[in-house]
Structure 1
Amino acid sequence: MRTTQAAGKIMLVGIGPGSVGHMTQRAREAIAEADVVVGYVTYIKLVADLIEGKEVVRKGMTEELDRAVSALEAARAGKKVALISSGDAGVYGMAGPTYEVLFQAGWTPEDAVQVEIVPGASALNACAALVGAPLTHDFCAISLSDLLTPWPVIARRLDAVAMADFVVALYNPKSGRRTRQIVEAQRLFLRHRRADTPVAIVKSAYRRRQHIEFRTLETMCEADIGMLSTVLIGNSHTFVRDGLMVTPRGYANKYDIEQGGETREGERPGRSLSTGLNGWLENLLDDHAGGESIEQLAARHRLPADYIAATLAEPIEAQPEAAAEDTET
């Protein structure tokens, strides 16, 4: 009697920063379940203690699509495959390339080959934990690698987030051949940020050659930066104290921390700031009624004029009282 080979499974495993202690339980389980482990040679070394006796497919730095194809071939043959990424598989990792290969091959979620993404701590999480609390407020990540993304696209993103005062994590900041990208990033940031803006450069977070260096935006390019580094650039409120980089969440805008956390005059716990959306809208209407043009308001608030015009044209709605369990700080 002829039997049909059961289809296998692809597990896209984020192994975290590189130490087994910072790998999730599910990541360890997925690798243990796997018949085949596929990954970049450096990442394979990081999980060497977990893959003894398994079929291992090692690939080079620029062979992401080959890794995905190898994983699909093994899964079609009925094997369970752990396709590993450092950090999180969905953050500059193998999840995206794998889905591209799967869709190109005609795969759908109803296919016999199953796909599971196992999340892990990304480099920005690991590096932030080592230097303090730099990501407590709004942040974003930008890769400086122009191997697949045109430089003007990267430059526009850098300029936009620098102006918008995001804390920024720069991935792939510099390599042996790509040395000018980090200089150009610094040039763009200095258009919008103070020269003394705090910067932390973390190399090989939680790995054997871990190195942490604090710099300023003005001097960051003098640091030892490479492909194993992540560069964290603070916003206008980020500070470094006693060797810790901290970005305030904004509690001081509402609460008087020196007076035991009492709510400041004009503010209410659980409600938007007086300078939040509703308060800002009221002031905007008053300023416009007082004679300021839409263009003047747009310039003062550094916002598009058409946005200001559309906002002024929409009445302010009364906000309902929130239930106690719905209140925010």
Structure 2
Amino acid sequence: MSVPGIVLLTANALGVAHRIRDALGGAELFGYAPRVEAVDVTFSDVEMQLAELFEGGRPIIGICAAGILIRKLAPLLDDKRSEPPVIAVAEDGSSIVPLLGGHHGANEMARRIAAALGGHAAVTTAGDLRFGIGIDEPPSGWRLGNPEMAKRIMAGLLAGEPVRLEIDAARDDADWLKRLPFDARGQLAIRATIKTEAPRGDTLLVHPATLVLGIGCDRGAPPEEAIALARQTLSAAGLSPNSVACVASIALKAGEPAVHAVAASLGVPARFFPAERLEAETPRLANPSDVVFKETGCHGVAEGAALAGVGEAGRLLAPKRKTGRVTCAIAEAPRLVDPMQLGRGRGRLAIVGIGPGSTESRTAGAEAALREADEVVGYGLYLDLVAPLIAGKTRHDFPLGEETERVRKALDLAAEGKHVALVSSGDAGIYAMGALVFELIETGANPDWERIEVRGLPGVSAMQAAASLAGAPLGHDFCAISLSDLLTPWDVIERRLKAAAAGDFVVALYNPVSQRRRDQLVKAKAFLLEGRPGSVPVVLARNLGREGETVTVTTLEALTPDQVDMLTVVLIGSSQSRAIARPDGGQWVYTPRGYAAKRGADIPDAPPLIRKEGAAQ
């Protein structure tokens, strides 16, 4: 389940909110900005914030009147099977009312909250009240074959009609069903089975997740071929796809799209075992192969993975079937299979740009990636900036200068099957960790790194943030150049500066000076003065998105190294960039694209830069 969002409309609710978060083992606090501080996220539009949480599938716990949640969320209600839990909690914690998603976890969550607060969980779903369960949302590990029958069966049980229970094998993991008052004489029935059966008008089919479907494939095998074979193997054995707990394969195939496509088509996770674990299953294989052993280090991938997944007490139900490039087998465990306890999943590395530092500049995607991560890697200051989003997660803090070590750690963790967020300020793909990730994957000679899932989450770059605060200096063609020669020879930087000057680009300078580099900004200024007047505006933006943020405007002619440091991004205008007076005495800077000429209008001469002694402009 996603991380719950606790929504507070008044500061009086903070105490209750913290007790709820402790009871649930973690949640994010959302506070109404005009009234609430000291929360993870503030908002000014109640309806918009609730909609964002609801549509993102996140459980909502509103410490407010139930009517507020009902009115705000009513337009979004559509399919109860896909709606997240929504719970209203009285400000004093006395009443906890699950409004939506009772069988999606809201009822159980309400009971946990009530126990922590000493309040009353006002559960109203009939099945929960009478029998303690709701058969339309069975426990984890059980799935409905024909969910449309659940309402009819529960209505019959509540009305006292006889309902019989049919189980196609002796099982000791169906205790939840045995709470119901079954009667062998009933016309209505609940049937627990791993088999595929045609739906009947009087029977609810429930399927235990006791099957593991093993997949082997060539590199680059077509996903559609793998999906078709998996479906054919299940059908030939008469087994229900609803009873598949997971798709399993060898770790060597953790990055193969075909394996993940099969898992996605069945709505289950993919899990992977090392070759030596699959080789241990050789005595139980129906079709061991020396050829496969030479290629993979085990005598059978599909059968071996299926058997490894169901354990020593499991059995092979469907021996290996194959097509040109894919193999498939199915095994059954005597009890429900918990996929998260098998092998390991495919590791994920999210390269997350968090923007300059303020909450407002982070994207929703970046925040979601941080919430979803198991472990977080980054420069300690950057991790501190997102501390509320990564509370309770394992942090790996690194100092400045250890960028390679940072990325190696993130890749190693992901290769272990973990979900990792590698955090950069600004945009991770602009002078940050993104390029180094792919460089190490290419040159690191570690096959495990090549198999992880990598995705980039864009952030607001320093030059974008600076430009937005100053006006629109990047309104026409621009380029970005780093003046640091730690990784790039200065002669290369010089060529780029000269090209930027010749092209009359607006230039964003990163890493403009450091304690040991004081003359490179002077050289850059000299190159750029060859192609534009000294009066062009220059924006100096420091500590963006953080305490002490300043944005000042000067000219290229007046620019000196003493005005900047490594926390400053410098935006140098082109010959067309202009500075115009602001009502507060400062200046806006913008670079026109030519709309005035298109309109046939004349632009007046820009006013001189206005300076106030001792004031940031």
Change (3 A) 1:66 1:157: same
Cα deviation, 1:230-279, whole Å, max 9, x if unaligned, reads 000001111111210011111122222369xxxxxxxxxxxxxxxxxxxx
Gaps of 5+ in 2: 1-310, 313-341, 582-586, 604-617
Identical-residue share of aligned pairs (%): 45
CA distance in 2, matches of 1:109, 1:4: 15
Q: Runs ≥4 in structure 1, deviation > 6 angstroms?
A: 107-110
Q: 1:131 aligns with which of 465, 470, 473?
A: 470
CA distance in 2, matches of 1:258, 1:60: 52
Query: Are 2:560 and 1:210 aligned?
Result: no
Is the Cα–Cα contact under 8 Å of residues 596 and 602 in structure 2 kept in the other structure?
no
CA distance in 2, matches of 1:258, 1:162: 26
Q: 2:570 aligns with which of 209, 231, 235?
A: 231
Aligned to 2:363: 24
Is the Cα–Cα contact under 8 Å of residues 131 and 200 in structure 1 kept in the other structure?
yes
Cα deviation, 1:88-126, whole Å, max 9, x if unaligned, reads 111111111011111223468995411010111111110
Cα deviation, 1:62-106, whole Å, max 9, x if unaligned, reads 111111110111111111100011111111111110111112234
Aligned to 2:58: none
Q: Give the 5 Å matches for 1:68-217.
A: 68-106=407-445, 111-217=450-556
Equivalent position SS for 2:563:
coil
What amino acid is the match of 2:592?
P
CA distance in 2, matches of 1:100, 1:222: 33
CA distance in 1, matches of 2:548, 2:351: 26
- How far the C-alpha of 1:208 sits from its partner, in A, is 1.0
Change (3 A) 1:108 1:123: farther
Is the Cα–Cα contact under 8 Å of residues 201 and 213 in structure 1 kept in the other structure?
yes
- How far the C-alpha of 1:17 sits from its partner, in A, is 1.2
CA distance in 2, matches of 1:71, 1:110: 10
CA distance in 1, matches of 2:447, 2:599: 51
Query: Are 2:598 and 1:254 aligned?
Result: yes
Query: Are 2:345 and 1:6 aligned?
Result: yes
Change (3 A) 1:179 1:110: closer
CA distance in 2, matches of 1:237, 1:109: 51
Aligned to 2:394: 55
CA distance in 2, matches of 1:136, 1:121: 16
CA distance in 1, matches of 2:461, 2:426: 4
TM-score normalised by length of structure 1: 0.75
Cα deviation, 1:172-225, whole Å, max 9, x if unaligned, reads 101112111111111111222211111110101221110111111111116520
What amino acid is the match of 1:45?
D
Larger Rg: 2
Total equivalences in the alignment: 259
Gaps of 5+ in 1: 260-329
Is the Cα–Cα contact under 8 Å of residues 134 and 246 in structure 1 kept in the other structure?
yes
Q: Give the 5 Å matches for 1:39-54.
A: 39-54=378-393
Equivalent position SS for 1:220:
coil
Q: Give the 5 Å matches for 1:271-310.
A: none
TM-score normalised by length of structure 2: 0.41
What amino acid is the match of 2:420?
V
What amino acid is the match of 2:382?
Y
What amino acid is the match of 1:128?
A
Q: 2:404 aligns with which of 44, 56, 65?
A: 65
Greater relative CO (CA pairs within 8 A, separation 6+): 1
CA distance in 1, matches of 2:566, 2:498: 22
Q: 1:240 aligns with which of 576, 579, 582?
A: 579
- How far the C-alpha of 1:6 sits from its partner, in A, is 2.0
Is the Cα–Cα contact under 8 Å of residues 213 and 223 in structure 1 kept in the other structure?
no
What amino acid is the match of 2:590?
V
Is the Cα–Cα contact under 8 Å of residues 202 and 212 in structure 1 kept in the other structure?
yes
Root-mean-square deviation (CA), in Å?
Answer: 1.9
CA distance in 1, matches of 2:527, 2:459: 31
CA distance in 2, matches of 1:222, 1:173: 8
CA distance in 2, matches of 1:177, 1:211: 23
CA distance in 1, matches of 2:558, 2:467: 20
Is the Cα–Cα contact under 8 Å of residues 376 and 394 in structure 2 kept in the other structure?
yes
Equivalent position SS for 2:493:
helix
Cα deviation, 1:122-152, whole Å, max 9, x if unaligned, reads 1111000000010110000000010000001
- How far the C-alpha of 1:160 sits from its partner, in A, is 1.1
